[in-house]
Amino acid sequence: MGKFGKEFTKGLVLSNPVFILALGLCPTLAVSTSIGNALGMTLAVVIVLLGSNIIISAIRNIVPNMMRIPIFIVIIATLVTVVDLIFQANFPDLHQSLGIFLPLVVVNCIILGRAEAFASKNPIVYSIADALGITVGFMLALLMISFLRQILGTGSLSLSVFGLNINFFTLPILGEHPMAIFILPPGAFLLIGLLLGLFRRMGVMKSE
Amino acid sequence: MKANTLKRIFPVILITVVVFACVALLNWTDSITRGKIEYQKEQQIQTMLAEMFPSMSRYTFEDDIYTIYSNGDRVGYAFIAVGKGYGGDIDILVGLEDEATVKGITIIPPVTETPGLGSRIAESSFTDMFRGLNIADVALSRDGGQIDAITGSTISSRAVVDAVRTEAMEKVKLLKDSEEGG
């Protein structure tokens, strides 16, 4: 496994943005109500993160140290606005259900965090690997949380995003008496807390 | 000396170039998405009109007023009123049954009022109160009208109510004028 592969896989578990780095928790809490929203958010994040990592890595040697943050923010904000407009034009339903959290990707710590910690110090190829790895890690975390929230909170699993509309299954008893708390914010906090603990435990076991 | 000056103004040049490149990119995205976004908004309005006037078979749009027809008969009017809310503009689709009565209102998303408080203006418990009201009665109950403000969200409630009443009165005047003229 080359360095590209290493930079990619580290984002999945060992430095999973949500469970280990604890970055991007705000969008994670907000859009993990259904797996459709989770996938939509992932698409937005992968476009922005890939774009910002590539551009910032490309200009890393000419940007003076004191100008880093303003320049990074201008680039990230531009990319987010582009994604926002494209979603609004092509996926109006998704745009509506992501709501304010789509423009808020601009202050998502994952994006600026990777720009600062990785892309501004590493060549383009590795920055691409980093962006992809972190996004897949983000997607896995979001899917895990939204899968549990949707099943517990609505008693059924369905996917409706990008024009798809699939009903996978409805659970017998839970379908009639869903635990609505899991769709609401407190349920998200509970689940994220439990999963954070689980990932930490796995990390501890691995290092022992 | 000269190299030093260049070093000092370089950050200014760099951020200017970056900002110009970003503006160009934004402009280009706007130009390719604008048509589609407007089309989506039109579709959204159409769906809302159909919900408000279930018998609607077609509508016309002229001078900012939608005129709703059901098989050739005119069944109402609709227009968009803009209220000044707590978190920016609130777009409201207002339906009129005739020139004095409100058919109903729908808040056009996205609702940017405070979540959980002002955002409740979009809920049916609030919007249902407008149904069948005389335009003159569209005011908060504390101002002598028929609408109860949402607890803790007087500014958002009043913004909606005032925008609906003011705009409705203006549109009714326009409608009457054009009828007299024609």
Comparison of pLDDT for A87 and A183, the residue scoring more: A87
Strand order in the sheet with B58-62: B58-62, B65-70, B73-85, B88-96, B102-107
Contacts of A75 in chain B (CB under 8 A): 18, 22
Residue A64, pLDDT above cutoff 70 = yes
What pLDDT is recorded for position B1? 55
Please tell me the predicted confidence (pLDDT) of residue B164: 93
Nearest in space to A30 (alpha carbons), one of A82, A99, A86, A81:
A99
Which of A178-182, B50-54, B175-179 is modeled with the greatest confidence? Answer: B50-54
Residues B86-93, mean pLDDT to the nearest whole number: 88
Average pLDDT, chain B: 87
**Quick check: B169 contacting A, CB < 8 Å?**
no
Answer yes or no: do B25 and A78 touch at CB < 8 A. yes
Check CB contact of B24 with chain A, cutoff 8 Å: no
| pLDDT for position B71 | 85
Domain spans, chain B: 1-52, 55-181
Hey, are the CB atoms on B25 and A88 less than 8 Å from each other? no
Interchain CB contact of B116 with A (< 8 Å): no
Q: How far is A175 from chain B (nearest CA, A)?
A: 25
Chain B residues with CB inside 8 Å of A86's CB? 29, 33
Per-residue confidence (pLDDT) for residue B72, from 0 to 100: 81
> Do residues A140 and A12 touch, judged by C-beta distance below 8 A?
yes
A161 versus B13: which is more confidently predicted? B13
Q: Does B37 touch chain A (CB under 8 A)?
A: yes
Quote ipTM for the complex: 0.74
Residue B150, min C-alpha distance to chain A (Å) = 22
Structure tokens at A115: 């720009």
Does the pLDDT of residue B182 top 60, yes or no? Answer: no
Does residue A75 contact residue A52 with C-beta atoms inside 8 Å?
Answer: yes
Residue B79 region by backbone torsions, left for phi larger than 0, else alpha for psi between -120 and 50, else beta: beta
CB A208 within 8 A of CB A158: no
Identify the band that residue A163 occupies on the pLDDT scale cut at 50, 70 and 90. Answer: low
Nearest in space to A129 (alpha carbons), one of A31, A8, A17, A25: A8
Report, in angstroms and rounded to the nearest whole number, the Rg of chain B calculated over CA atoms.
23
The minimum CA-CA distance between A88 and chain B, rounded to whole Å, is 6
- Please give the distance of CA B169 from its chain centroid, rounded to a whole number: 16
Q: Would you put residue B132 in left (φ > 0), alpha (ψ -120 to 50) or beta?
A: left
